[in-house]
Chain A
Amino acid sequence: MNLDPNKKSRARKRLLILGAVILALLAVNVAVPRKKVPPPLNARTLKDLAELATVEYSVTKIIAHKDVAWYGDRKILFETAAIVKAGIDLNELSDGDIRREGYKAVTITLPRPRILLFNMKPEHMHEIFNESGVLRSDFSNQEKDALLSLGEKDIRAKVATMDILERAARNARILVESWLSRMGFASVRVEFRGPGGRK
């Protein structure tokens, strides 16, 4: 067990150097700043709207995710539903869009319909399958929210390609015609602005 005094002092020196290096690196680690998380904002505001929703689509989608890795797999499945409402924005209506011929005939030019509202309620979301390998962590809420957000994005994109806007236009025409007829207009004509039209 008796070591050579030279070897002993060399080992001590090496220990000292190592200790100094570790201390210096610790100081660098403390000095390099961590990313700061911005504090949440509080934005409570009321805003006026003038929108007429004329059609409501209820849609469903299965959201599936497979995470395959060398140290194990993770799989999750959700069943989700969304409500999409489309109609017209009456704020875009101006004086020139309503043309009266006396008090019995009227022609009204409505703005092009658009999707007004998209709602994915938590109560309509169900986790139907969730499995993680032994070496894998379970899906966190953050990951689940991110997957559901991707599903939301996909539903929005696919609904936009459906016939929702055509139906919204058709229903808006029926609604406005029926209201104006009830108001006593004998002749009611409802038009829509063309894509290349005004505004």
Chain B
Amino acid sequence: MKKLALAFNIAALLAITLLLYTPLARLGLLPSLPSLFRSGPLTIEETPVIIQQVKNIAQMFTQTFYDEYVYDTGPIRTPVFNQDKRLIFIAKGEVIAGFDLSALSESSIIRRERAIVVKLPPARVLEVIINPSGFETFIEKGVITFEESKKYHEDARRIFERNALRKGILRNSAEQGREMLEKFFRLLGFETVDIIIPESR
């Protein structure tokens, strides 16, 4: 009986300590319990950034589409004794569209006195950008490998591109390209400016 009472007293004292600690930790007056076992601030070792390739390009960016998307894998069933998995993350990034002007040839620019005709290639999506700083894990259940999470991140990029295309990024990109070049050629003194842009497929 004495042993039982002692055990009960110890349990009660532990419960009181825990219950006293938790609200104080929540108010920020004490470190939270998990943080006692958590590692310090994340840091990375000093390693060099190596240039693999330098390329001369001629790309005109005329439209950007900012997007924010909540990606939910939904519950992923795993073998009987394993916990079901789920990953929810927020992805923030942008899709950039414009023209690849490196494809412009001699015949793409025709000048007659104060008139000019410029034939551009069709507008296209040039980049879909969601950098690591653009991913924010919201819920992570079960063991999700790096390869699996990479697959979901790549899927989020495809969703961004699809959303941008639905929103009419290519049409807007072509329009903005036309306006921009017209303004530029008029500044150069051309009175008649004709910009030909084939429709994007």
Contact = CB atoms under 8 A, between A and B. Distances in A.
Interface of A: 1, 3, 11, 15, 18, 21-22, 25-26, 28-29, 32-35, 37, 40-67, 69, 71, 74, 81, 83, 85, 87, 90, 93, 95, 98, 100, 103, 106, 116-123, 125, 127, 130, 138, 140-155, 158-159, 162, 167, 171, 175, 179-180, 182-184
Interface of B: 1, 5, 8-9, 12, 15-16, 19-20, 22-23, 26-27, 37, 39-40, 42-45, 47-68, 70, 87, 89-90, 96, 98, 101, 104, 106, 109, 111, 114, 116, 127, 129-133, 135-138, 140, 143-144, 146-147, 149-150, 153-154, 157, 163-164, 167-169, 172, 176, 180, 184, 187-189
A127 B27 CA distance: 38
Given A40-B68, A49-B98, A144-B146, A119 B58 contact: no
Nearest to B1: A1
A59 B47 contact: no
Contacts, number: 237
B172 to A, nearest CB: 6
Q: From DSSP, what is the main secondary structure of chain A's interface residues?
A: mixed
A74 to B, nearest CB: 7
Q: From DSSP, what is the main secondary structure of chain B's interface residues?
A: mixed
Contacts of A90: 180, 184
The 10 A-B residue pairs with the shortest CB-CB distance in the complex, in nearest-first order: A25-B19, A148-B132, A127-B146, A122-B153, A142-B137, A158-B49, A64-B45, A58-B53, A51-B61, A149-B133
Nearest to A3: B1
Contacts of A119: 127, 129, 131
